[in-house]
Amino acid sequence: MSATPEIRPFRTEDAAAVADLLSPVVAPDYPITAAAVAQMPDALRPGEADFWVAEAGGEIVGWAERAVHFSAASRDVQRAWAAVRPDHRRRGLGARLFDIAEESARSRSPRMIRSWTIDDGPEGARFLRARGYQQRRTERMWALDPTAVDLSDLPRREREAAAAGYRLATLREALDRPEALYRTFNATDVDVPNDIEVTGFSLDEWQRLVLSDPLLDRDGSVVVLAGDEPVALAWLSVDRERGLAGNAMTGTLREHRHRGLARLAKLATVRWSVEHGIRRISTGNDSTNRDMLALNEHLGYQPLPDFLVFARTLA
């Protein structure tokens, strides 16, 4: 019988093994790289998050994390989550990992702890409900083969946008205006349907956790400019080695909506993906976000198991 796995704090040298563990657990089509995992502790301030691994026979077989919910309006919301390699499940390891993450979250005296699971079987939801968590929200998950998208209409859309005063730029080309990018990102992020009140990231948090994310591709991500002001975004997280991408943010400022700008930007990211050998683009949208759901369906995204958000209220 194998030894009981040891649970210990995450170390940078664990990053590749953790990425291998999380890729099939979180979403097989979503980019998760060793560089992105290794960067997480460096991007965080003391007390913002903790990470643990479970090690057995020199292999990483489990993961746990605890973090403040950065975009929550009041910073008294924490997040806790755990994952276990399939061949080590049903032995109590998931419970051990989750208990450590939850206890770390509870030590911050939050009013709420949030967690999540993929709706690919009853085990994850059952695990959370048994610990007093209730489902709060459903995220519809999708994946797209970019080579299957009809891009023939994109040049016309670009011409019409230009006539109306809009132009496409890569994120790299817009990096010289970080505060304007932040305002647009935060405004669109806050507008995403949610079950709690959110105010978004601070500028410092956004620069550390979003703009400096190793997965955020500066060339594959698109910004729509009105003059020099960013008014719409379609950003991609990319693992070029595996040919995988994920929609990191898609949105348009309220005063510029209903002009096809989100569709224009998203089509531009699809074109870039085709040109750079990306074989799958994954995304997720709140189940009540009808506009984005309709856009994804029209573009040809195919449904994946839902992402279920749970929460436990403590005060």
Domains of the chain and CATH, by start: 6-140 (3.40.630.30), 142-305 (3.40.630.30)
Reported as a single tens digit per residue, the pLDDT across 281-309 is: 999 999 999 888 998 999 999 999 999 99
Q: What is the layout of strands, in order, in the sheet containing 49-56?
A: 6-9, 49-56, 59-68, 77-84, 112-118, 302-313, 134-144, 280-286, 244-252, 229-239, 222-226, 166-170
The type of residue at 11 is: R
Reported as a single tens digit per residue, the pLDDT across 130-167 is: 999 999 999 999 999 999 999 999 999 999 999 999 99
Q: What is the mean pLDDT of residues 72-92?
A: 94
Q: Which residue has the tokens 């958000």?
A: 309
Query: In the predicted model, is pLDDT for residue 310 greater than 50?
Result: yes
Question: For residue 1, what pLDDT band results from cuts at 50, 70 and 90?
Answer: very low
Q: What is the mean pLDDT of residues 77-88?
A: 95
Closest CA to 18 of 38, 3, 41, 2: 38
Reported as a single tens digit per residue, the pLDDT across 249-269 is: 999 999 999 999 999 999 999
What's the pLDDT at 76?
Answer: 95
CA-to-CA separations, 275 to 85, 189, 244, 278, 305, in angstroms, rounded: 35, 28, 13, 8, 28
DSSP-derived 3-state class of residue 313: strand
